[in-house]
Amino acid sequence: MNKRHLNSALNSFGLFVLGAVALLWTMPILWAIAVSFHSPNEPLSAANLWWSSQPTPSNYAQALQIAPFGQYYLNTIIIVLGILAFQLVTICLAGYAFARYRFRGQNILFFLIILQLMLPSSALVVPNYATIRSLGLFDTLLAVMLPFFGSAFGTFLMRQTFKTVPRELDDAARVDGANWLQSLWNVYIPPARPALIAFALSSISFHWNDFLWPLIVTNSTASRPLTVGLAVLTQLGEIGAQWPLVMAGTIIVVGPLLVLFLIFQRQFIDSFLHSGLK
Amino acid sequence: MALTSQATVETKQAERHLRFRNAALPYLLISPTLLFVAAFTLWPLLRVIHDSLYVQNQAVQTPRFTGLGNFLALFSDPFFRGVIENTLLYVIITVPVSVFLALVLALLLNRKFRALGLYRLAFFYPTVLPMVSAATIWLFMYTPGYGLLNVFIEFFHIPSQNWLGDPKLALIALMILGVWKQTGYFMVFFLAGMQGLPHDVFESAKLDGANIVQSTLAITLPLLMGTTLFVTTIAVINAFETVDQIYIMTGGGPVNATNMLLFDLWQTLFSYLDVGRASAISVILVVMLLVFTAVNFISTERRATYE
């Protein structure tokens, strides 16, 4: 077989594989969406799997009635934005200190912070749960947020980013009478914006999806995020095999995410590429 | 005269004060980060190591030193050995499968064609979903009778299976979900890595008569080693931390067939209220992950430095 034939045969075969895998990959979400509109009067069966003959939004209405998804959304939004707001402040301050100052114990302190990157937070839930209990914070939104206010990854990222800012710019600002905060704000932060945005997106998506920690420290509607709320709905005995209802609940949770992803596909993917770590 | 020296002293004091403030500033700047890292990572690490050496549970309320007793008890317990086995099996299978599939998909997608965005969307969207929602959808996919997966395999004349109810199949069912969920995520790392490869090398290989297979094997794959290492460490860490889907889909069953480290940790703490044993499991998890998190950090540093 000559080269051109081999290349074009591989090309067609490649396209076929891509198409088949893409079809398999999208099936679950398409099915979930279709079933979420299935009429409760038509039982699901092998013969009646996709579109109901009378699609209805009633499953959504019922899911919203059983589970307070509005409250869950609010909780999740407060949690992810609260964590992010704190992180942005702490990582900029610490990243700036490590990038621009020489001080005693610098390396050991940096190492202690970076250690957080090497210890999965999920492995430390036992003592952290005890800490939350002893602080009297169990079943509060603050309990879900608190362990994540300091971020080794963010500190590391900001240190690397700030180091690329030319020292002369900083010196010039200082000569003009700027104090450290003005220099950080006017000289260092503006060129670091892409890194900050990437960090923000990866922080938001990690904490939006987090499950184990909020499951452990929440116990009521007032503090449960979406993920735990959906798990509670799924595990409700009485709704058992009412799949259209469960799928409606699932789509309520993932729908907005998917829409956002469709709109900001590039930014999403870039932010995931930048993180790779929480 | 006295006045000037008084002024000098004051200036010196002000200078010293300023120098002290300057010296203290970096510590002040890192203190918030250090405080939270110390409270929720460093102190917990010490505490979990400490607690793993004590017996502390419902029966023994005041901690009693036991040395490595918790670890010995865990490793001689067939139940826990099963948990370790499931975890390792899950890691050993899902990691190579999803990394390899991601690489293949990236190789196939790495060219200009119209539907590129659509394909990337199809493979990547599971990454965006919370694992809890993905697991709920797959719980439905695996439903005996009319679950989509059963309908699909029946099309090929394979009888419908009770995926999550069969101890032989349940772990495989979790693995399928794992591969589906993360392959697109790994794929975009490979795609980004391929974008950065030098074009002229491929051009000259083409001129020298190399076909796609040859240039892929000889140029693309060796140059992607860094990306592969990075992606593999993420995959291993994620696989070790598998828990959400177990909670939603199987509860560790049937007969412990899908129980893994983190789920067992959660259950030991909250169902059996055994702090000593749960701490020992935490230590085991940390130790198993340490090599991978360290390698992952080093390759993150490389990526951040040379990007």
Tell whether B38 is covered by a domain. Answer: yes
Q: Which residues of A touch B244 (CB under 8 A)?
A: 211-212, 227
Distance CA A147, CA A48 (A): 47
Per-residue pLDDT reduced to its tens digit, B175-204:
999 999 999 999 999 998 888 888 788 888
Q: Which residues of B touch A265 (CB under 8 A)?
A: 117, 120-121, 124
Tell whether A21 is covered by a domain. Answer: no
Helix (H) or strand (E) holding A136: none
The parent domain of residue B8 ranges over: 2-43
Mean pLDDT calculated for residue range A257-272: 82
Of B136, B209, B241, Cβ closest to residue A3:
B209
Q: Which residues of B touch A254 (CB under 8 A)?
A: 128-130, 133
Residue B152 and residue B276 in one domain: yes
Domain count for chain A, please give it. 1
Instruction: Say if residue B129's pLDDT is above 60.
Output: yes
Of B47, B104, B293, Cβ closest to residue A117:
B293
Q: What is the largest CA-CA distance in chain B?
A: 107
Residue B122 and residue B35 in one domain: no
Q: Which residues of B touch A8 (CB under 8 A)?
A: none
Residues 6 or more apart whose CB falls under 8 angstroms from that of A204 comprise A80, A84
Q: Can you say whether the dihedral through the CA atoms of B65, B70, B73, B76 is positive or negative?
A: negative
Per-residue pLDDT reduced to its tens digit, B71-110:
999 999 999 999 999 999 999 999 999 999 999 999 988 8
Q: How far is B229 from chain A (nearest CA, A)?
A: 12
Both tokens assigned to A8: 């074009």
Residue of B nearest to A45 (CA): B146
Of A7, A21, A215, Cβ closest to residue B105:
A21
The pTM of this model reads 0.90
Question: Lowest-pLDDT range, A216-220, A270-274, B49-53, B104-108?
Answer: A270-274
As for the ipTM of the complex, it is 0.89
At A278 the pLDDT is 37
Q: What is the largest CA-CA distance in chain A?
A: 78
The parent domain of residue A143 ranges over: 63-275
Residue of B nearest to A148 (CA): B36
At B15 the pLDDT is 62
Query: Quick check: A115 and B42 CB within 8 A?
Result: yes
Confidence grade of residue B12 (pLDDT, cut at 50, 70, 90): low
Tell whether A17 is covered by a domain. Answer: no
Per-residue pLDDT reduced to its tens digit, A118-150:
898 899 999 999 999 999 999 999 999 999 999
Q: How far is B46 from chain A (nearest CA, A)?
A: 9
Residue B229 and residue B272 in one domain: yes
Mean pLDDT calculated for residue range A95-103: 94
Instruction: Say if residue B4's pLDDT is above 60.
Output: no
Instruction: Say if residue A237's pLDDT is above 70.
Output: no
User: For residues A186-212, b (16+ Cβ closer than 10 Å) or e, as one string?
Assistant: ebbbeebeebbebbbbbbbbbbbbbbb
Average pLDDT value for chain B = 89
Domain count for chain B, please give it. 2
**What CATH code is carried by the domain that includes residue A235?**
1.10.3720.10
Query: Quick check: A89 and B290 CB within 8 A?
Result: no
